[in-house]
Structure 1
Amino acid sequence: MAETRVNASITDVTNNGTIWICEHMFRYQRSKGIFFYDNPFSFTLPVLFLQTTLVSVSTTILQLILEPIGTSSFFPQLLAGLVLGPSVIGQNEFIKKWLFPPKTFYISETIAFFGSMMYMFLIGVKIDISSVTRTGKKAWAIGIFSFIIPLMLSLLIVFIFSTGSFHVTTILLADLKLLSSEMGRLAISSSLISGFISILWVTCLSTLKQSETKKDNGPFNWMTMSFIVMILVIIYVLRPIMLWMIRKTPEGKPIKESYIFSVFLMVLSCALFGEYIGQHFMIGPIVFGMAVPDGPPLGSALTEKLDALVSTIFLPLYFLYSGIRFDLYIIDAQSFAIVQVVGIVSSIGKIVGTLLPSIYWKMPFTDVLSLGLLMSTQGITQLLYLQSSLHLNIIDEQSYGNALIALLWLTGATTPIIKLLYEPSKRYLSLNRRTIEQSTSDIELRLMACIHTQDDTSSIINLLEMSNPSLENPICFYVLHLLQLKGRSAPLFIDHQPSSKKLNAPHSNHSQNIINAFRSYEKQKSNNVVVKVFTTISPYETMHDEICMQVDEKRVCLLIVPFHRQWRPTGVTESAQPIRALNRHLLRMAPCSVGILIERGTLCRNNPLTSVLFYSVGIVFIEGADDREALAYAMRMANHPNVRITLVRLMEPRKKNRNLMHRDPDGDLIHRFKVECIQIKRHDYREEIVRDSVEMINVIRSLDGCFDLVLVGRRHATESNLFSGLTEWNEFPELGPIGDMLVASDSTFDGSVLVIQQQKRSGVGYHDLSLDSGINTMQESITIVEVPRERKVWPIA
């Protein structure tokens, strides 16, 4: 056809209602530009760019608007596609002509499905398929019942709403920040089982539908055999190749680009083979994605390279295509009502299917209802099932439109209800808080430390040694190695106890040096200390829930976390805002006392396993529960032969002449320190009279070079003259005024600091406004590893 600049079309409607649109084709699909009198919107490529921009921007705007009410990301994505489709904005003739000409959708549809294929592949990459074998009976029962019951209720009309999806549930949990919650763990395990059953169900139905036109079973048998062959090739050929790639990659190094390229070719080959044998082209990439070893180095590299592009560009284009297939004006009231009722019945069936096993396990009703709503949510997986059913003529366009509306409103209504019903922190905020001050010295002291990198190990071990584990005062020490979630949909919790079931996964290797160091220390201290090491892999945004649950389960008295800045031998500090946000969440919510350790080299100058260390420890005591908690911890250290304690008491003149004994808890504890510790000559007590903040700062500065470690309380009475004007200048509000003075950029103090906060004893958590300033969090997606926990070593009174 000769080159033309006419953007005309001829529309014809046949007798059976089929619409034919004839358009002129251009030899050249690129515009020469407006300066050569070309209209860019007469060409496919510029229109495609505009469509992609419009749907991406619309999705982002809708997500920002709807996020506060707790909607999942699927809701604004689908809504944006429907709004830009022919039923809303696309009804305008000008927009329809220039922004959505029919010829562009041949290209946009191809790109959209390619993007959705890569998206589903990434879903498979993030799934830990081996977790199915580790799932408990409760999750199996909920997963099976939540599939069967809604299927039985809605089988006579439609089967789509009975299907489940692991990915849809995981994304919703991430959107609601419930990934690390107790209910989130159960929902992920249950949806994983329900999702596998759903995939098998839909695949069998699709295969049968394509074979029903044949009188014999030959095509069905060949399709089934070919599908099984594809799975075997993926498991026994492609997966070993990927494992070889991982073995060839040095630990801590990024995987080679050539390996990434090879995996990408495998994805395309699986999609091509699936289409060739008559299966949906996404089945191959999904199955292959599940065979990819999740996490670093391969799984995380694939998600880092593809996730942003696929999720923000290709996926919105897919939802635009989905919206274009939707026509509101062909829907009649009767069919609409029927499909909506089916959707409601299916959702009720999901809730009932979740409720029956949960009653057996005596779960709280609110948790059961929230879990049922979670299991009933719909997403992109169900949308793909709908489009496959439309392609195979299982449903017509009217049913497709009705089902799309049901998907939209059911998901939009469900997620805010879940957010309203379920709050994971209620489990530990309602408990009485455990503190060192309230614990007696003749029972086991339970401490927990969080470690981000193995560089934190030496300082934590030295602090544990200073805590004076002994036969009379044993310590049970829990170590949580915290890793950011990468290349997985669901977080992972790993127990590294010798009696626990070992995981043949690369995740355990990240903690090996930490495990070895603590095992060596435990062996050296014989029966005085028991160390238990765990690894938790989760997003920083919800990591505090996992830590708080472990604190509650282990009955810990003091949680020690590293400061977000690290002092290196070069003097350079590194800052990580997600870690800072995590520390602030823990200060608000932890069901025990919290200590933030600022290590500046004094606690890791020697190896505690090979040398005898002597530490000088100072306590700055003013007043309040936090200072008492710091002093109570220091008194635990005081019996260690290689620790020297100096208590520096800062007092205002009006309080100097008060008889502290038997008047207030501060005086009682200081009196105990004098009676129990001052008689030991190496310990000391100093009293300083300070009238205002200037004199207090001078005393704090005089501590320079005197101590290896200083313990301070975080909060004090703000109405005191000693703190007048200090809070406005705090660089790190989470450290309190004294801790900030010792750590701030202009401080000359070179020792380490432990800032301690004693949590409130009862009720719910408090809201500290000082923790809300200057914080940025990283938004990020728990497979359950059910392993036996060792019993406590010493009885607890």
Structure 2
Amino acid sequence: MMMGSLIVMAIFIAYVLRPIMIWMIRQTPKGKPVKESYIVSVFFMLLGCAYIGESIGEHFMIGPILLGLAVPDGPPLASALVEKLETMVSSVFLPLYFLYSGSKFKVFLIDAPSFAVVQLVAFISLFGKVIGTMLPSIYCKMPVVDALCLGLILSARGITELLYFQACLHYLVMDGQSYGNIVIALLWMTGLTTPIVRYLYDPSKGYLSLNRRRNIQHASPGVELQLMACIYSEENSPSIINILEMSNSTHESPICFHVLHLIQLTGRATPLFIDHQLGDKITSDSSVHTTQSQHIVNAFRLYEEQNLGTVVVKIFTSISPYDTMHDEICMQAAEKRVSMLIVPFHRQWTINGVSESALPIRALNRHLLRTAPCSVGILIERGALNRSSAITCMSFYSVGVIFIEGTDDREALVYAMRMAERLNVRVTVVRLVEPRRMKNRVLMNRDSDANLIDKFKADYTHIKRHDYKEEIVRDSVEVINVVRSLEGCFDLILVGRRHASESSSLFNGLTEWNEYPELGCVGDMLVCSDSTFDGSVLVIQQQKLGAVHHVEYVDSSIINTKQEPFTVVEMPHGTKV
């Protein structure tokens, strides 16, 4: 009777309750939240399934588990349920349940012989499962370390086993002594496997092991340039399209532009990657994501049609949690052989000047600066760049480059030189030079910075729309004055994130007062709260080779690796240096 009742309950959930939830999703307009009455109805279904499960003789968790499997994954319903329940379940109910489980544990009932036998059996079982998983994995050409991690993951115990053993204790299938021994085995098995997997499994090794130069400065001329841009919402599309427009795609040097629409994973357990070139579509349960991605796809497809033969756009959608999203981005950048990855800044400026902050996106950008297998550009979208699109109008863009010295500044200048080839782009290079370098310039060996500057002056300054300026700066105050004097002069400013002379007097005191350390000193001046610069900024970091384990400006709560200390100071609005 119990098994028959369980089958009937499963059929009722699958063919009655699930269609009701699908109807709720269809009744919800695209982009709108689910009605509270629908959420409450699902909660009543949950309580009803728990009561029925207990009434037919099963564990009360059986009904809710079956109902959870029947809920359509993704937004709007599943994500709304997660948002409503996650805090209460994770912060209140789950700790109380573990406290209840601990109260059933009787230490004084455990004796040495039974304890030794049970732990030995548990160890042999763990070893057997790990070996049984590793052997077929190694046979299928999986690396030994990954096979070991997979075996440990499949051998870990969780709350499901604990529920099962509590049910056995409740129905007197086992006594208190056996329950205590098994709980101890569960604790050390989970406590042993989790840190070992965290230590051994590193998804970044698939792309950090690459030693080839993948940046714009060392890209082969006349070869298709590979660029990638990340987009979080439709509002990012106009500015990204404008950047693509300025990048000067021609028949001699075309651009393959990879667009990755990033969506946070909510309401489902498995990450999803959609290739829109293959006609993949998000399921109908995710109507909100379908609408957002389709608008982005339409915008870039239209731009590709207008520039047929010079631009190839490939669009993807990645639905994954923010904690591991950087691994997905870096893996795609490595597979596509991307020279530069462009990501939006975590703060967005609206037309009325109000900005919104998204901390997970800021953490994601820091991860990308640390691990990206290519150059990275953080785009701060302000001014006309994010309000107009090259699809609807042909604009004249004024681009500025702040050049000091170092690999990042050279990467920014090389990218600007590619933009300068476009007829509707005016490029102005402003070089900040210390007096001692001015005096010793004739005696100095011609370094990479000087060679690149000479190339720009020889190839572009004879064209009237381009310009080159040198500003002599003696200390950090004069650097700030020069940067502030550029406000209102450009639609877009390109600046390197790091500079080779950051230890010199030009940057004394600037690092300690950075509001956004991930943007570097100069980028922070243009974006900080008291800045009046109304144009967009692209902060560029050239690909880092041989510095995999070096971490810059990364919060300890984000990753568990060694880092250099840094200070973030919140400056009151209106404060002047």
Give the TM-score normalised by the residue count of structure 2.
0.91
Does residue 320 of structure 2 align to residue 538 of structure 1? yes
Residue 217 of structure 2, aligned match among 426, 431, 437? 437
Deviation readout 1:417-466 (Å, 9 max, x if unpaired): 22222233333333225211111221111111111221111111111111
Does residue 513 of structure 2 align to residue 729 of structure 1? yes
Does residue 478 of structure 2 align to residue 699 of structure 1? no
The alpha carbon displacement at 1:333 in A equals: 2.5
Residue 477 of structure 1, aligned match among 239, 253, 257? 257
Q: Judging changes above 3 Å, is the alpha-carbon distance between structure 1 residues 344 and 778 closer, same or farther for their aligned structure 2 residues?
A: closer
Supply the distance in 2 between the matched residues of 1:249 and 1:580 (Cα, whole angstroms): 32
Does residue 170 of structure 2 align to residue 388 of structure 1? no
> Would you say the 8 A contact 1:449–1:460 is kept in 2?
yes
One-letter identity of the residue aligned with 1:234:
I
> What is the match of residue 454 of structure 2?
671
Query: Alignment partner of 1:603: what SS?
Result: helix
One-letter identity of the residue aligned with 2:250:
S
Supply the distance in 1 between the matched residues of 2:480 and 2:355 (Cα, whole angstroms): 24
Q: Judging changes above 3 Å, is the alpha-carbon distance between structure 1 residues 640 and 306 closer, same or farther for their aligned structure 2 residues?
A: same
Supply the distance in 1 between the matched residues of 2:344 and 2:397 (Cα, whole angstroms): 19
> What is the match of residue 595 of structure 1?
377
> What is the match of residue 551 of structure 1?
333
Supply the distance in 2 between the matched residues of 1:612 and 1:293 (Cα, whole angstroms): 44
Residue 226 of structure 2, aligned match among 446, 450, 461? 446
One-letter identity of the residue aligned with 1:682:
R
One-letter identity of the residue aligned with 2:366:
R
Query: Alignment partner of 1:559: what SS?
Result: strand
> What is the match of residue 361 of structure 1?
140
> What is the match of residue 576 of structure 1?
358
Equivalent positions of 1:317-328 (< 5 A) are: 317-328=96-107
> What is the match of residue 467 of structure 2?
684
Supply the distance in 2 between the matched residues of 1:662 and 1:529 (Cα, whole angstroms): 40
Equivalent positions of 1:174-185 (< 5 A) are: none
Deviates more, 1:430-439 or 1:464-473: 430-439
> Would you say the 8 A contact 1:645–1:682 is kept in 2?
yes
Deviation readout 1:114-166 (Å, 9 max, x if unpaired): xxxxxxxxxxxxxxxxxxxxxxxxxxxxxxxxxxxxxxxxxxxxxxxxxxxxx
Question: Quick check: which one's helix share is greater?
Answer: 1
Query: Alignment partner of 1:437: what SS?
Result: coil
Does residue 193 of structure 2 align to residue 399 of structure 1? no
Does residue 399 of structure 2 align to residue 620 of structure 1? no
> What is the match of residue 713 of structure 1?
496
> Would you say the 8 A contact 1:629–1:756 is kept in 2?
yes
Supply the distance in 2 between the matched residues of 1:326 and 1:751 (Cα, whole angstroms): 64
> What is the match of residue 631 of structure 1?
413
Q: Judging changes above 3 Å, is the alpha-carbon distance between structure 1 residues 311 and 733 closer, same or farther for their aligned structure 2 residues?
A: closer
One-letter identity of the residue aligned with 2:518:
E
Which one has a bigger Cα radius of gyration? 1
Supply the distance in 1 between the matched residues of 2:551 and 2:40 (Cα, whole angstroms): 49
Supply the distance in 1 between the matched residues of 2:494 and 2:394 (Cα, whole angstroms): 22
> Would you say the 8 A contact 1:661–1:671 is kept in 2?
no
> What is the match of residue 740 of structure 1?
524
> Would you say the 8 A contact 1:650–1:690 is kept in 2?
yes
One-letter identity of the residue aligned with 2:451:
D
Q: Judging changes above 3 Å, is the alpha-carbon distance between structure 1 residues 268 and 729 closer, same or farther for their aligned structure 2 residues?
A: closer
Supply the distance in 2 between the matched residues of 1:763 and 1:722 (Cα, whole angstroms): 25
Q: Judging changes above 3 Å, is the alpha-carbon distance between structure 1 residues 663 and 394 closer, same or farther for their aligned structure 2 residues?
A: same
> Would you say the 8 A contact 1:577–1:776 is kept in 2?
no
Supply the distance in 2 between the matched residues of 1:227 and 1:524 (Cα, whole angstroms): 60
Deviation readout 1:26-73 (Å, 9 max, x if unpaired): xxxxxxxxxxxxxxxxxxxxxxxxxxxxxxxxxxxxxxxxxxxxxxxx
> Would you say the 8 A contact 1:430–1:763 is kept in 2?
no
The alpha carbon displacement at 1:416 in A equals: 1.9
Q: Judging changes above 3 Å, is the alpha-carbon distance between structure 1 residues 616 and 565 closer, same or farther for their aligned structure 2 residues?
A: same
Residue 497 of structure 1, aligned match among 273, 277, 287? 277
One-letter identity of the residue aligned with 1:711:
L
**Between Structure 1 and Structure 2, how many residues are aligned?**
555
Q: Judging changes above 3 Å, is the alpha-carbon distance between structure 1 residues 484 and 613 closer, same or farther for their aligned structure 2 residues?
A: same
> What is the match of residue 8 of structure 1?
none
> Would you say the 8 A contact 2:105–2:179 is kept in 1?
yes
> Would you say the 8 A contact 1:431–1:762 is kept in 2?
no
Equivalent positions of 1:188-587 (< 5 A) are: 219=1, 223-432=2-211, 433-500=213-280, 503-506=283-286, 507-587=289-369
One-letter identity of the residue aligned with 1:368:
A
Task: Name the % identity.
Answer: 65
The alpha carbon displacement at 1:629 in A equals: 0.5
> Would you say the 8 A contact 1:497–1:533 is kept in 2?
yes
Q: Judging changes above 3 Å, is the alpha-carbon distance between structure 1 residues 662 and 641 closer, same or farther for their aligned structure 2 residues?
A: farther
Supply the distance in 2 between the matched residues of 1:509 and 1:228 (Cα, whole angstroms): 38
Q: Judging changes above 3 Å, is the alpha-carbon distance between structure 1 residues 558 and 765 closer, same or farther for their aligned structure 2 residues?
A: farther
Q: Judging changes above 3 Å, is the alpha-carbon distance between structure 1 residues 547 and 727 closer, same or farther for their aligned structure 2 residues?
A: same
Deviation readout 1:69-100 (Å, 9 max, x if unpaired): xxxxxxxxxxxxxxxxxxxxxxxxxxxxxxxx
Residue 390 of structure 2, aligned match among 593, 604, 608? 608
Query: Alignment partner of 2:540: what SS?
Result: strand
One-letter identity of the residue aligned with 1:703:
L
Supply the distance in 2 between the matched residues of 1:289 and 1:323 (Cα, whole angstroms): 26
Query: Alignment partner of 2:39: what SS?
Result: helix
The alpha carbon displacement at 1:659 in A equals: 4.8
Supply the distance in 2 between the matched residues of 1:562 and 1:501 (Cα, whole angstroms): 25
Aligned-residue CA RMSD (Å): 2.3
The alpha carbon displacement at 1:777 in A equals: 6.2
Query: Alignment partner of 1:637: what SS?
Result: helix
Query: Alignment partner of 1:594: what SS?
Result: strand
The answer for unaligned runs of 5 or more in structure 2 is 561-577
Deviates more, 1:684-693 or 1:638-647: 684-693
Supply the distance in 2 between the matched residues of 1:739 and 1:684 (Cα, whole angstroms): 21
> Would you say the 8 A contact 2:239–2:389 is kept in 1?
no
> Would you say the 8 A contact 1:661–1:667 is kept in 2?
no
One-letter identity of the residue aligned with 1:255:
V
Query: Alignment partner of 2:324: what SS?
Result: helix
One-letter identity of the residue aligned with 2:471:
E
Supply the distance in 1 between the matched residues of 2:364 and 2:443 (Cα, whole angstroms): 38
One-letter identity of the residue aligned with 1:436:
I
The alpha carbon displacement at 1:660 in A equals: 9.6
Supply the distance in 2 between the matched residues of 1:481 and 1:627 (Cα, whole angstroms): 28
> What is the match of residue 179 of structure 1?
none
The answer for unaligned runs of 5 or more in structure 1 is 1-218, 780-797
